[in-house]
Amino acid sequence: MSNVYIYGMKHLLLIQCADRVGLVHSITGILSAHGLNITAMREFVDEAAGRFFTRIEFRGEIANNTALRQELSDKLPAGAVITIDPKQRKKIAVLVTREHHCLGDILVRNFFNTLHAEVACVIGNYDELQGFTEQFGVPFYHVPHQDKPKDLFEQEILHIVEPLGVDYLVLAKFMRILSPEFVGAFQGRIINIHHSFLPAFIGANPYRQAFERGVKIIGATAHFVTNDLDEGPIIFQQTTHVDHTFGVAEMVTTGKEIERSVLSAALELVFQNRVFVTGNKTIVFK
Amino acid sequence: MSNVYIYGMKHLLLIQCADRVGLVHSITGILSAHGLNITAMREFVDEAAGRFFTRIEFRGEIANNTALRQELSDKLPAGAVITIDPKQRKKIAVLVTREHHCLGDILVRNFFNTLHAEVACVIGNYDELQGFTEQFGVPFYHVPHQDKPKDLFEQEILHIVEPLGVDYLVLAKFMRILSPEFVGAFQGRIINIHHSFLPAFIGANPYRQAFERGVKIIGATAHFVTNDLDEGPIIFQQTTHVDHTFGVAEMVTTGKEIERSVLSAALELVFQNRVFVTGNKTIVFK
Amino acid sequence: MSNVYIYGMKHLLLIQCADRVGLVHSITGILSAHGLNITAMREFVDEAAGRFFTRIEFRGEIANNTALRQELSDKLPAGAVITIDPKQRKKIAVLVTREHHCLGDILVRNFFNTLHAEVACVIGNYDELQGFTEQFGVPFYHVPHQDKPKDLFEQEILHIVEPLGVDYLVLAKFMRILSPEFVGAFQGRIINIHHSFLPAFIGANPYRQAFERGVKIIGATAHFVTNDLDEGPIIFQQTTHVDHTFGVAEMVTTGKEIERSVLSAALELVFQNRVFVTGNKTIVFK
Amino acid sequence: MSNVYIYGMKHLLLIQCADRVGLVHSITGILSAHGLNITAMREFVDEAAGRFFTRIEFRGEIANNTALRQELSDKLPAGAVITIDPKQRKKIAVLVTREHHCLGDILVRNFFNTLHAEVACVIGNYDELQGFTEQFGVPFYHVPHQDKPKDLFEQEILHIVEPLGVDYLVLAKFMRILSPEFVGAFQGRIINIHHSFLPAFIGANPYRQAFERGVKIIGATAHFVTNDLDEGPIIFQQTTHVDHTFGVAEMVTTGKEIERSVLSAALELVFQNRVFVTGNKTIVFK
């Protein structure tokens, strides 16, 4: 172990595995043996599940990435998921219907390289957003859902996204429910924005429900999609105040702002590798 | 009409009635004929219900309060509810079970005269909070609910609060459900703090529900009590962020803070005469 | 006065003038004489300044707009500013330097007609944002400030915006200080976003200042521009939490989000005619 | 190293020292050699200062606390500050002047054992809060500042708090400025609540300043006291919205709520051992 204080390139290490005593010691021992210096570290054990999660930022030069991974793998429980320096810019496909507010935000960030991801394409079951998308130089595919069985509709989407090798599908106000088969093909890789502070107002027309109920807050929820509709692991949520002067239309307008803001924050967390999934929950190392 | 700009004593006028054209004109005409100057005014029409609500702060000297009320009444639709200079300090009874956080806040404010209300008594179905209450010089009544029918339990409460002439009952973490008869006797005058951002997590153990669901926000709701449990008109709501490190216990602790803060804000709004009820909703003129 | 409850077209009336007793009565009398029904009304008197402000939403058919205005003018103090049904979509010019986050938000809203305004042009003292602007079909003018006196630079801007008849200039991260002459030509019509929660961190490099000071919140301020730098009437402010893991770069990134959000909210308020200026402050009828 | 997954008593380890490669490894190696399992860990390096900070929650049985500390000390840089299982309930003295809102909150929490600290006494330079304090069974000392030199005033305070062995002094709206000598005697152990979102509105009458400036947010700051007035390391800050209807008095009322809330949050962080000081900043492991 060196006493010399070293700065060097920034690296990131993500690990999840079964928990046992000594994991942090094993992991950090390997890093220090390589002369790598930890600058920020988060660790969490889901005690109910017996699962261990860590996110480690460190500095220094990695002589041999493969060797480092192997050393870690040898010391960790079987089945450990180890990620060293994950892809800086994930590749994503954005699925939309007709609303533009979330898509607009994503495309502007993509244009200026502040999304921490690259939009490979936008797919819409309507074509309203085609012109808007294409003006950013991003391909738009119109895949109507009408007059065809759901499996065919989903096959058409798969045929577009599979050759692109996308890391995540982002449902940016995509109003179709995906089949278990489709969701299964993108396990943990579909992110949705839901227009309420779940679990309130599950189902259709949440803003009308909110108006009828006379709530004083509305909100939005970004979550991973699972086969239980509106029930996947929540990544981020936020609420904002409304009052008696808000009709349904004003709630929708205000809701769009919070939807956009919540999806944006969730994508930032995911694309910066700060989110782990454990059971039906997320661990978010902000 | 005088051109002279007059300051004088501050007054408050509250009106609710059926809506029709010209109401503001009629009302303000009477005020100006009396030489009273409006300094802040809020007006709202619930168009669906055809109901008119206004809250008017004005300055000047009211020569004859009764005459002013009669003039207003003559010009307004039948059934108009007119309040001139409502009671500055409402009289309240606080109902509690075992948790102290909301009660503590109320008693400290009461002690220092910042509650805009006077706590006439505290009633608990357990006696844990008796010593705490009495050290503030406020009477505490222990009314156990065990081993007696609900109507008897409620009769005992009524026998305490009726002679006191309380304006509001505040349920500060009172964990018993009140009967329709009891609620009916205090129509629009019972305020409850509910430990979730309604309509999420209706029912028992909301923080456990929140933990199980893995939500990223928890909250609280202050509402008027009606016979539909957790369904009365909402006065105020607020949420706060939680994360994966929060177990149920930490959610409860954080929840107590938000419960206290939300109830405190709601009482401030009600006691400052800023809240009207229309159907199952509130109009809040902040 | 009719007892019949009438719905009709929505209208908006804005008035500011010297205060005196009876103003609301006079104004509402004229509205009711025309059979116009007030649905929401906000009134405020700045008592220190003796100024009266009101914003009235009403329904009904205005037979003769000019006559209505004249009747109001006859009853109000000299110099009253009366606006009936202000322009639905203000015309604006957006001034930028190099940062895109506020501009991106404005152009997307403009594209989808949710800005309540129309972007007539974008003017940049650098040309980085030209391509981005033009892809939205909005004209971009590159007006460099280098190697020319400030008055010439400002003349070039005036020559662009004056023929366009813009209602507001929006400084969307425009990093040049405007002269008193220029500001005077657009009195109360220049809106700026400042990258701190004023009055904290006035001056250059607010995020570096914030980092050095170790603050736990950063924020942004949207304000009207006056000749006192960073001192104009504040329209909207918001803050967000930061922590010890934020370097200057992370504060800048987070700050951009809050800048965008604050400017967006302020423009919404101004373009929906909810903001009055009184002295160095604003009255905002939300 | 054991593969057995062990639950046991919860412990807490805090370390700060000069940074070098391998610290986490050294620390966690010692823990794992003792069969102690880390359940949550935060680590941060202040790269500018070359300082290392960690907060480790772990489970298991510590056979020999002294031996564990010695082993850690042997492996860490000279001057390392190591704390194992810090005192669960700090002892504090609360200094007040006349305002009760922060004191009330502290005394209620103290009464119900939710403060994570024990209030040993309250000291006031006025006696207004004596009755309120004593009703909670907490000693109150009236130490007037009038007609005596500051050093004598501070000596009287020291004579009260020193025999009590208090860990922290909490300035809960204590309106006297303490001398460098006094501050030096409680280095890093005096916590103040300041009635503005520093660095805005430094100095006297911040709410009047805020009113004059027409800000749309007000806030509060909890910080450690140093000899630079209003310049010590910030622990927590929060803001809340105000509008044109707020006079100075309403800002003060709203401000008291946020002051109380901010001080409460800061005390929770400090008393739960989540706050380190580095230079003029804090590291807060929430």
* DSSP string covering C171-196: ESS--SPPPHHHHHHTTT-EEEEESS
**Catalytic residue annotation of C:** 230
The pLDDT mean for chain D works out to 92
Phi, psi of D132 (to 5 degrees): -60, -45
Rounded average pLDDT over D30-43: 90
| Residues D40, A47 contacting (CB under 8 angstroms) | no
pLDDT tens digits, D39-82: 888 999 998 899 999 999 999 999 888 999 999 999 999 999 99
Residue of C nearest to B241 (CA): C241
- Residues of B with a Cβ under 8 Å from any C Cβ are 1-7, 19-26, 28-29, 31-32, 35-45, 47, 50, 60, 77
Among D106, D96, D90, D87, CA closest to D263: D106
| Residues of chain B found within 8 Å of residue A236, distances taken between Cβ atoms | 216
Mean pLDDT lowest among A256-270, C4-18, D115-129: C4-18
Question: What's the burial of B149, exposed, middle or buried (CB within 10 Å: 0-12/13-18/19+)?
Answer: exposed
Whole-angstrom distance, CA of residue A255 vs CA of residue A249: 10
pLDDT over threshold 70, residue C170:
yes
Phi, psi of C139 (to 5 degrees): -65, 140
Cα angle A204, A209, A214; round to 5: 165
**Catalytic residue annotation of A:** 230
CB contact under 8 A, B50 and C5: yes
Q: Hey, what are D89's tokens?
A: 């309930």
pLDDT of residue A32: 87
pLDDT of residue D202: 82
Residue of A nearest to B214 (CA): A281
| Residues A92, A169 contacting (CB under 8 angstroms) | yes
Beta partners for residue B83, in sequence order: B14
pLDDT over threshold 60, residue D2:
no
CB contact under 8 A, A22 and D28: yes
| Residues B150, B179 contacting (CB under 8 angstroms) | yes
Name every residue whose Cβ is closer than 8 Å to that of residue A67 and which is 6 or more positions away in sequence.
none
| Residues of chain B found within 8 Å of residue D132, distances taken between Cβ atoms | 111-112
| Residues D9, A16 contacting (CB under 8 angstroms) | no
Q: In what order do the strands lie in the sheet with C140-142?
A: C140-142, C117-124, C90-96, C168-171, C190-194, C217-224, C234-241
CB contact under 8 A, B25 and C22: no
pLDDT over threshold 90, residue B32:
no
| Residues of chain C found within 8 Å of residue A114, distances taken between Cβ atoms | 101, 253
**Looking at CA atoms only, how far is residue D163 from chain A in angstroms?**
40
- Tokens 């010009």 locate to B75
- Tokens 């772990």 locate to D58
Helix (H, G, I), strand (E, B) or coil at B111: helix
What is the DSSP secondary structure assignment for residue C3, as one 8-state letter? -
Chains that touch D (3 or more CB pairs under 8 A): A, B, C
pLDDT over threshold 60, residue B1:
no
Which of A44, A201, A216 comes nearest B237 by C-beta? A216
- Tokens 């505040």 locate to B170
| Residues of chain A found within 8 Å of residue D42, distances taken between Cβ atoms | 41-42
State the DSSP string of D208-221. Answer: HHHHHHT-SEEEEE
**Looking at CA atoms only, how far is residue A210 from chain C in angstroms?**
20
For chain D, what's the residue count? 286
CB contact under 8 A, D264 and B257: yes
- Residues of A with a Cβ under 8 Å from any B Cβ are 44, 46, 197-201, 213-217, 219, 233-239, 243-245, 278-284, 286
State the DSSP string of chain A. Answer: ---S-----EEEEEEEEE--TTHHHHHHHHHHHTT-EEEEEEEEEETTTTEEEEEEEEES--S-HHHHHHHHHHHSPTT-EEEES--SSEEEEEEESS--HHHHHHHHHHHTT-SSEEEEEEEESSSTTHHHHHTTT--EEE---TTS-HHHHHHHHHHHHHHHT-SEEEESS--SPPPHHHHHHTTT-EEEEESSSTTTT-SS-HHHHHHHHT-SEEEEEEEE--SSTT-SPEEEEEEEE--TT--HHHHHHHHHHHHHHHHHHHHHHHHTT-EEEETTEEEE--
Rounded average pLDDT over D281-286: 94
| Residues D270, D168 contacting (CB under 8 angstroms) | yes
Residue of A nearest to D45 (CA): A39
pLDDT tens digits, C91-150: 999 999 999 999 999 999 999 999 999 999 999 999 999 999 999 999 999 999 999 999
Rounded average pLDDT over C71-81: 96
| Residues of chain A found within 8 Å of residue B238, distances taken between Cβ atoms | 217
Amino acid at B142: H
Beta partners for residue A52, in sequence order: A17, A45
Residue of D nearest to A32 (CA): D22
CB contact under 8 A, C215 and D200: no
Name every residue whose Cβ is closer than 8 Å to that of residue B26 and which is 6 or more positions away in sequence.
B75, B76, C1, C32
Rounded average pLDDT over B263-281: 95
**Chain centre to alpha carbon of residue B182:** 17
Name every residue whose Cβ is closer than 8 Å to that of residue C44 and which is 6 or more positions away in sequence.
B39, B40, C52, C53, C54, C283, C285, D244, D245
CA distance between the termini of chain A: 30
Whole-angstrom distance, CA of residue D88 vs CA of residue D138: 20
Whole-angstrom distance, CA of residue B62 vs CA of residue B255: 46
CB contact under 8 A, B199 and A201: yes
In which band, very low, low, confident or very high, does the pLDDT at B5 lie, cut at 50, 70 and 90?
Answer: very low
**Chain centre to alpha carbon of residue D112:** 20
Residue of A nearest to B202 (CA): A200
CB contact under 8 A, D108 and B104: yes
| Residues of chain D found within 8 Å of residue C201, distances taken between Cβ atoms | 199
Whole-angstrom distance, CA of residue B274 vs CA of residue B265: 11
pLDDT of residue D7: 60
pLDDT of residue A7: 60
Whole-angstrom distance, CA of residue D196 vs CA of residue D210: 9
CB contact under 8 A, D199 and C215: yes
Pairing of strands A234-241, A217-224: antiparallel
Which of C213, C243, C282 comes nearest D284 by C-beta? C243
For chain A, what's the residue count? 286
Residue of B nearest to A196 (CA): B200
More confident residue, C21 or D173: D173
Whole-angstrom distance, CA of residue C142 vs CA of residue C124: 5
- Active-site residue, selected from the candidate residues D127, D147, D167, D230: D230
| Residues C84, C65 contacting (CB under 8 angstroms) | yes
Chain A contact probe: residue of C39, C42, C112, C257 with most A CBs at under 10 A: C112
Whole-angstrom distance, CA of residue C248 vs CA of residue C85: 46
If one counts every other C-beta atom within 10 angstroms of the C-beta of residue B137, the result is 11
CB contact under 8 A, B237 and A214: no
pLDDT of residue C199: 82
Whole-angstrom distance, CA of residue C118 vs CA of residue C116: 7
Rounded average pLDDT over D231-244: 94
| Residues of chain B found within 8 Å of residue C6, distances taken between Cβ atoms | 21
pLDDT over threshold 80, residue C197:
yes
pLDDT over threshold 50, residue B262:
yes
| Residues C183, C228 contacting (CB under 8 angstroms) | no
Question: What's the burial of A91, exposed, middle or buried (CB within 10 Å: 0-12/13-18/19+)?
Answer: middle
pLDDT over threshold 70, residue D223:
yes
pLDDT of residue D199: 82
pLDDT of residue A241: 93
Question: What's the burial of A162, exposed, middle or buried (CB within 10 Å: 0-12/13-18/19+)?
Answer: exposed
CB contact under 8 A, D2 and A21: yes
pLDDT over threshold 60, residue B2:
no
Which of C1, C22, C45 comes nearest B21 by C-beta? C1
Which of A104, A105, A136 comes nearest C135 by C-beta? A136
**Looking at CA atoms only, how far is residue D120 from chain B in angstroms?**
19
CB contact under 8 A, A6 and D22: no
| Residues of chain B found within 8 Å of residue C25, distances taken between Cβ atoms | 1, 25, 28-29, 31-32
The model carries a pTM of: 0.92
**Looking at CA atoms only, how far is residue A135 from chain C in angstroms?**
6
Q: For residues D250, D253, D255 and D259, what is the CA-based torsion angle, rounded to 10 degrees?
A: 180
| Residues of chain A found within 8 Å of residue C253, distances taken between Cβ atoms | 114
| Residues of chain C found within 8 Å of residue B25, distances taken between Cβ atoms | 1, 25, 28-29, 31-32
pLDDT over threshold 70, residue C2:
no
Residue of C nearest to B24 (CA): C28
* pLDDT tens digits in sequence order for chain A, 286 residues long: 333 344 678 899 999 999 998 899 899 999 988 989 888 889 999 988 999 999 999 999 998 889 999 999 999 999 999 999 999 889 999 999 999 999 999 999 999 999 999 999 999 999 999 999 999 999 999 999 999 999 999 999 999 999 999 999 999 999 999 999 999 999 999 999 998 888 888 877 889 999 999 999 999 999 999 988 778 999 999 999 999 999 999 999 999 999 999 999 999 999 999 999 999 999 999 8
Among D58, B208, B255, B215, CA closest to A44: D58
In which band, very low, low, confident or very high, does the pLDDT at C232 lie, cut at 50, 70 and 90?
Answer: very high
Chain D contact probe: residue of B7, B109, B135 with most D CBs at under 10 A: B135
pLDDT of residue D1: 32
| Residues of chain B found within 8 Å of residue A233, distances taken between Cβ atoms | 214
pLDDT tens digits, C241-271: 999 999 999 999 999 999 999 999 999 999 9
**Catalytic residue annotation of B:** 230
Omega within 30 of 0 (cis) for the link into C199 = yes
**H-type helices in D76-189, by residue range?**
101-111, 130-134, 150-164, 180-185
Rounded average pLDDT over B155-179: 96
Helix (H, G, I), strand (E, B) or coil at B157: helix
pLDDT of residue C113: 92
Chain A contact probe: residue of B212, B226, B239, B244 with most A CBs at under 10 A: B244
pLDDT over threshold 90, residue C205:
no
- Tokens 């029409």 locate to B45
Amino acid at D96: V
pLDDT of residue D5: 43
Whole-angstrom distance, CA of residue A58 vs CA of residue D47: 12
pLDDT of residue C102: 97
Amino acid at B279: G
More confident residue, C80 or C63: C80
- Residues of A with a Cβ under 8 Å from any D Cβ are 1-7, 19-26, 28-29, 31-32, 35-45, 47, 50, 60
Residue of A nearest to B211 (CA): A281
CB contact under 8 A, C24 and B21: no
Estimate the crossing angle of helix B23-33 against helix C23-33, to 10 degrees: 150
Omega within 30 of 0 (cis) for the link into A199 = yes
Pairing of strands C234-241, C217-224: antiparallel
Which of A214, A217, A233 comes nearest B197 by C-beta? A217
